[in-house]
Amino acid sequence: MEPILEIRNLGKNFGAVEILKDINVSAEPGGFLVLVGPSGCGKSTLLNCIAGLEPISGGTIHIGGRDVTHVSPKDRNIAMVFQSYALYPTMSVAGNITFGMKVRGVDKAVRARKLQEVARQLQIEQLLDRRPSQLSGGQRQRVAMGRALVRDPQLFLFDEPLSNLDAKLRVEMRLEIKKLHSDLGATMVYVTHDQIEAMTLATRIVVLKDGVVQQVGSPAEIYNRPTNLFVADFMGSPAMNLIPARASRHGNGTRIEIERAGGPPIVLIDGRIDGLPGDVVVGLRPEDIAEAGFRAGDGVQEAECLIDMVEPAGADTFVVSLIGGKQVTARLHAETEARPGSTLALAFDLGKVSYFAPDTGERLN
């Protein structure tokens, strides 16, 4: 199927500064594409470029198979939801939602019908006469979405729409956006710095750093097989443990040796990989380190570790141990007997381990 959005070799400069470098991204019909990265990575600029609100310095943008590189925002068949909602303060909710149709000369009867449809869909029927200043944050968010929905565009753009909401409301609205996406079957591009939002919403994630695409893939791919140290560190909470280690040949596999202060090194044997360089960074998610006896399988190996810290988080308990000079976090079950200062046998599950080159940061397996 032809992609709804296709960006080829897009570049963007502000004066001499390169904000975006050679971006190649596409979104399939009905896809939910999330642009994620730390602040200043260029994700919002990229979204503004897609919308046509920022001119681009090179490359092309196609929406629905049509080259819109030099087309103005109003003719791109898009709708956008902004971080600050950007509701027109002097217009009522109804006025806000229908303004776009009014500008485009849509018939009054059609406007009223579409307004009712969208208001019902978003459950804001009782708010239509209010001004934006009389609404709560969540209600404003809904109106901003209504303004986008009523246009029925080919492509929806969301610029960090949930970042101004409190934590509880954010989770609710996140679910609602996800439901909306599946109900409408619409194609959406969504910018966020919150990697949990990215994981939960996306069908496809684009991780950006310093204006360069680091990795494009499904949430599972990004989570399980991060392409470099940056992605490994950025995606996932708590973050992936990235432990410096020495690797050497061991039969058909590899012997991984992790130094630690005040004790013998931890030695792990990975039978499924060989040919690693001498210095590697071992990437293990906290959930891949469990209490010994609670995890079994091919790649599981145990070692006694000194526990520095214990953080009960309700469903799980996180313990931190200093390994390879790093604070390594393990995700244990809630009833663990682990106590700070005592030793505990931890099971390292190499089933989903990632190896990175310490100098380039690139993935090795």
Partner 1 sequence: MTDPARGLPAAPRAGQAALRWLLFAILGLFALFYLMPLFVMIATSLKSLEEIRAGSLVALPARVTFEAWGTAWSSACTGIQCEGLRPYFWNSVSLSVPAVAISTLLGAVNGYVIAQWRFRGANLIFSLMLFGCFIPFQVVLLPMARTLGFMGLTGSISGLVFVHVIYGIGFTTLFFRNYYVTIPVELVKAAKVDGAGFFRIFWSVFMPLSLPILMVTVIWQFTQIWNDFLFGVSFSQAGTQPVTVALNNIVNSTTGVKEYNVDMAAAIIAALPTLFVYAVAGKYFIRGLTAGSVKG
Q: Which residues bind partner 1 (CB under 8 A)?
A: 48, 51, 53, 72-74, 78-80, 82-91, 99-100, 103-104, 132-133, 140, 147
Q: Smallest gap, in angstroms, from Cβ of residue 5 to partner 1?
A: 15
Residue 232 and residue 1: Cα distance in Å, rounded? Answer: 31
Q: Smallest gap, in angstroms, from Cβ of residue 209 to partner 1?
A: 25
Strands 187-192 and 32-36: what pairing? parallel
Q: Which two tokens stand for residue 282?
A: 């071992």
Query: For 183, phi and psi rounded to 5 degrees?
Result: -65, -45
Q: Smallest gap, in angstroms, from Cβ of residue 73 to partner 1?
A: 5
Q: Cβ(36)–Cβ(158) under 8 Å?
A: no
Q: Which is nearer to partner 1, 89 or 341 (CB)?
A: 89
Q: Which is nearer to partner 1, 74 or 120 (CB)?
A: 74
Q: Which is nearer to partner 1, 154 or 254 (CB)?
A: 154
Q: Smallest gap, in angstroms, from Cβ of residue 196 to partner 1?
A: 24
Q: Smallest gap, in angstroms, from Cβ of residue 50 to partner 1?
A: 11
DSSP-based three-state secondary structure for 10: strand
Q: Which is nearer to partner 1, 140 or 170 (CB)?
A: 140
Q: Which helix (H) or strand (E) holds 114?
A: helix 108-122
Q: Smallest gap, in angstroms, from Cβ of residue 203 to partner 1?
A: 24
Residue 247 and residue 70: Cα distance in Å, rounded? Answer: 52
* Closest CA relative to residue 283, chosen from 340, 333, 324: 324
First and final C-alpha spacing in the chain: 31
Strand partners, 242: 283
Q: Which is nearer to partner 1, 38 or 73 (CB)?
A: 73
Q: Which is nearer to partner 1, 9 or 84 (CB)?
A: 84
